[in-house]
Amino acid sequence: MRTEVNTDMKLRTIRRHIGEGTRNIFRNGWMSIASIGAVTMTLALVGVFMAIVLNLNEIAKNIEKDVEIKVFIDRLATEEDIEDLRGEINELDTVDTVRFASNDEELLSLAESMGEQGEAWLLYQQDNPLNHAFIVQTIEPTDTEPTADQIAEFTSVDNVNFGKDVVENLFKFNNFARNVGLVVIIGLVLTAIFLISNTIKLTIMARSKEIGIMKLVGATNGFIRWPFFIEGMLLGVLGSIIPISMILFGYSFLEKLLVEQIHFRVIELLPFNPFAWQLSLVILAIGTFIGVWGSVMSVRKFLKV
């Protein structure tokens, strides 16, 4: 019987906290609107910048995936030598794919890459001066250079080319861009926490007398804190609605626009599903955390009566 009474009291207390926290939002009027506005503007900025950085990171990955090693085969190599070389390359742990390109394919590719001027190269089809080649891609783009150095030591290899300077600069730039993006996102989130917690603190300061009276009549810290906890959580959730809507509708529109206008694989955006939904959940989680954290931290000083 006592257990049922305790359970009923706990449920009534929880309902009271939820009801009180919800009423406080309406009771505070403009201060609540200011808090929600601060959450909305900051999370919109965080969400947009996160979408940009994560998509730039995906584009950088696509560019890195296109990095390949061209292994030019010795012109004196026999078919057996070529197959042995293919086997040696495939045995490397860092190698993903190996594709053979005949010297005729290489000649046509060279002619196509030079446009109208490349037609002159087609005159060499009968006496092709180019080498057969293997086109090698590594599992991890960063393994390109060490893999190329290993292949260069194999028998029947005439030359190895992977655009060393370009690849090194590409990897350095991509790493720099990722690090800068991460730092900026962290900075925006910390700024959001600071701004929003201060806005919520102003809301709580306006009710400092109310908190003091509740302490004097014997209310526990937990009893006082929970309505503010609920209020902060609701402020964070409400402030997340507009940024989430912007992400879902804006990203869907932008993805369709780019699909229609741009047909390069490397400029593909992350797919709307699941990326936009995942980012929306992250924004909701950040908004909820900021609201709760801001309320709890701000009410602490007023509980010391």
DSSP output for 104-172: HHHHHHHHHHTGGGGGGGGGGSTT--SPPEEEEEESSGGGHHHHHHHHHTSTTEEEEE--HHHHHHHHH
H or E segment to which residue 98 belongs = strand 95-101
Q: Please check the confidence at residue 305 and state whether its pLDDT lies above 70.
A: no
The identity of residue 175, as a single letter, is: N
Q: What pLDDT shows up at residue 38?
A: 77
What is the band of 40 on the pLDDT scale with cuts at 50, 70, 90? confident
Task: Give bridge partners of residue 97 from the DSSP assignment.
Answer: 137
Strand, helix or coil for residue 217: coil
pLDDT of 199: 66
pLDDT at 24 over 80: no
Length of the chain: 305
Kindly report, residue by residue over 106-148, the tens digit of the pLDDT. 667 656 655 565 555 555 555 667 788 898 988 888 888 889 8
Asked whether the beta carbons of 232 and 285 are under 8 A apart, the reply is no
The DSSP 8-state label assigned to residue 72 in this structure reads E
Q: Give φ, ψ of 138 to 5 degrees.
A: -90, 160
**Tens digits of residue pLDDT in 248-298:** 888 888 877 776 665 555 567 778 888 888 888 988 888 888 777 777 777
Instruction: Specify the higher pLDDT residue, 16 or 247.
Output: 247
Q: Looking at this protein, which amino acid is placed at residue 84?
A: D
Q: Which residues contact 6 (CB under 8 A, 6 or more apart)?
A: none
In order of their start, the domains of the chain are 14-63+170-303 (no CATH), 68-161 (3.30.70.3040)
**Cα angle, residue 21 at apex, residues 20 and 24 outer, rounded to 5°:** 85
Residue 177 CA to chain centroid, in angstroms?
A: 12
Residue 11 has pLDDT above 80, yes or no: no
**Is the Cβ–Cβ distance between 270 and 55 less than 8 Å?**
yes
Q: Is the preceding peptide bond at 274 cis, omega within 30 degrees of 0?
A: yes
Q: Is 273 helix (H, G, I), strand (E, B) or coil?
A: helix
What 3-state class would DSSP assign to 101?
strand
Structure-block tokens of residue 222: 């937990």
